[in-house]
Amino acid sequence: MRGQRPDYWKDFSCIASECQDNCCIGWEIDIDPDSLKRYQNMEGSMGERLRAGIDTNGQPHFRIQKDRRCVFLNQENLCDIQKELGEDALCDICREHPRFYHVCGGIEEAGLGIACEEAARLILNRKDSVHFSGIGPECQDDWVCFLLTVREQLIQILQNRQISIIKRMDRMLSYGRKVQESINQGHPIHKFSEEEISCQSAEQIFARDMEFWLSFYQELEIMDSRWHSMLRQAKALEWEDIPNEIFWEQLSVYFIFRHFTAAEEDDDIYGKIRFAVLSCLIIFYVSKSLITKQLKDAWIRTAVLYSKEIEYSDENIEMIWEELLFTP
């Protein structure tokens, strides 16, 4: 088995100045060593401007103005570096965002992050189930191969449209719990009969804790005040009669694909599955509190903010995973 890449990967195209949630606003954009060296050695007025616009205290990054805009973002919401020097002159993060890559046990994987509103629309508005294709070398690590096989099973469960999305998440959690038990016993198993997988409601698993989780998320590092306000307004409502189940299928598959193989390091596959479900629940509860005529727009806006606040903060995501590890 090889690392995977989703089929929508090839369809992404940045909408630049048309973006309503610009990735050059509100972020501290780190600069990779090769780009930094190139900027420091660049001649002419642009070279002088680059050196003045970079903060080298700690991790080198582009300076941010008082309005949280990158100093190279012009009034047309376009990047002056790209405008003056071309796309090849961009640092790694600016050139690749929202693409993400990770290496796990020798395999390579790639995807798109939903912190970008256009990527979020591309992923979450699609009607067909996402398909994945193999990339890079074959997996040679038995544990990682096992994780990839389990993840494939999880995605198949989530994409089974013969049953409701709630039941799919229930089944995924039940399956994950059985796999985790087999791992803890020292004999990892990824195949179980229907009778062995007894379903428990996704909401029931988290219901007694949802008020706790909404409070817990408020204690994490907050980068956007809107997110804190939305969390405060959110209520743990009933998780039933979910409209537009395909949206929640795409969202849950996204979280499983992106984060499940992190279990390579801590063996906590059930925690990564619970994180995917918890993420969907938080987004559902928060978006329900928004006053809007376009429900799907509220879901996407919330998912984008969630991704920015959680997925792009190593500290935040690690705190959630640790809490899930010790919270039954």
Alpha-carbon torsion, ordered 87, 91, 92, 94, to 10 deg: -70
**pLDDT bracket for residue 22 (50, 70, 90):** confident
User: Comparing 134 with 53, which gets the higher pLDDT?
Assistant: 53
Q: Give me the mean pLDDT over the 65-77 stretch.
A: 90
Report if residue 15 sits inside a domain.
no
Q: Give me the mean pLDDT over the 63-68 stretch.
A: 89
Q: Does one domain contain both 213 and 83?
A: no
Distance, in Å, from the CA atom of 68 to the CA atom of 84, rounded to the nearest integer, reads: 22
Which residue among 39, 71, 96 closes a domain? 96
Number of domains in the chain: 2
**pLDDT bracket for residue 2 (50, 70, 90):** confident
Residue type, 103: V
Q: For 245-274, what is each residue's pLDDT tens digit?
A: 999 999 999 999 999 999 999 999 999 999
Whole-number pLDDT of residue 201: 59
Report if residue 54 sits inside a domain.
yes
Q: Are 242 and 164 in contact (CB under 8 A)?
A: yes
Q: Does one domain contain both 203 and 256?
A: yes
Q: Is the pLDDT of residue 328 over 80?
A: no
pLDDT above 90 as % of the chain: 66
Report if residue 129 sits inside a domain.
no
Least confident piece of the model among 128-137, 150-159, 271-280, 315-324: 128-137
| Domain around 176 | 141-326
Q: Does one domain contain both 213 and 75?
A: no
Farthest-apart Cα atoms in the chain, separation: 71
Q: Does one domain contain both 181 and 286?
A: yes
Q: Does one domain contain both 264 and 192?
A: yes
Closest by Cα among 133, 100, 101, 97 to 118: 97
The number of CA neighbours under 13 Å toward the Cβ of 145 is 7
Report if residue 271 sits inside a domain.
yes
**pLDDT bracket for residue 18 (50, 70, 90):** confident
The number of CA neighbours under 13 Å toward the Cβ of 237 is 13
Q: For 280-306, what is each residue's pLDDT tens digit?
A: 999 999 988 776 556 668 899 999 999
Q: Is the pLDDT of residue 241 over 70?
A: no
User: Comparing 41 with 138, which gets the higher pLDDT?
Assistant: 41
- Joined together, the tokens standing for residue 160 give 């089974």
Report if residue 235 sits inside a domain.
yes
Report if residue 176 sits inside a domain.
yes
Q: Does one domain contain both 294 and 189?
A: yes
**pLDDT bracket for residue 195 (50, 70, 90):** low
Q: Give me the mean pLDDT over the 206-222 stretch.
A: 86
Q: Is the pLDDT of residue 100 over 60?
A: yes
Q: Does one domain contain both 237 and 169?
A: yes
State the CB neighbour count (10 A cutoff) for residue 234.
24
State the CB neighbour count (10 A cutoff) for residue 72.
22
List the beta bridge partners of residue 4: 134
Q: For 121-154, what is each residue's pLDDT tens digit?
A: 999 999 999 999 988 888 889 999 999 999 999 9
Q: Does one domain contain both 82 and 207?
A: no
Mean pLDDT of the chain: 89
Which residue among 35, 68, 96 closes a domain? 96
**pLDDT bracket for residue 159 (50, 70, 90):** very high
Instruction: Provide the H-helix boundaries in the chain.
Output: 33-41, 44-52, 80-85, 92-96, 117-124, 142-158, 165-184, 202-207, 210-219, 225-233, 245-259, 263-266, 269-288, 295-306, 314-326
Q: Taking phi first (over 0 means left), then psi (-120 to 50 degrees means alpha), and beta for anything else, what does residue 244 get?
A: left
Report if residue 16 sits inside a domain.
no
Q: Give me the mean pLDDT over the 313-319 stretch.
A: 96
Which residue among 75, 96, 117 closes a domain? 96
Closest by Cα among 20, 63, 23 to 39: 63
Please, what is the angle between helix 165-184 and helix 269-288, to 10°?
150
Q: Is the pLDDT of residue 204 over 90?
A: no
Q: Is the pLDDT of residue 238 over 80?
A: no
Distance, in Å, from the CA atom of 244 to the CA atom of 295, rounded to the nearest integer, reads: 10
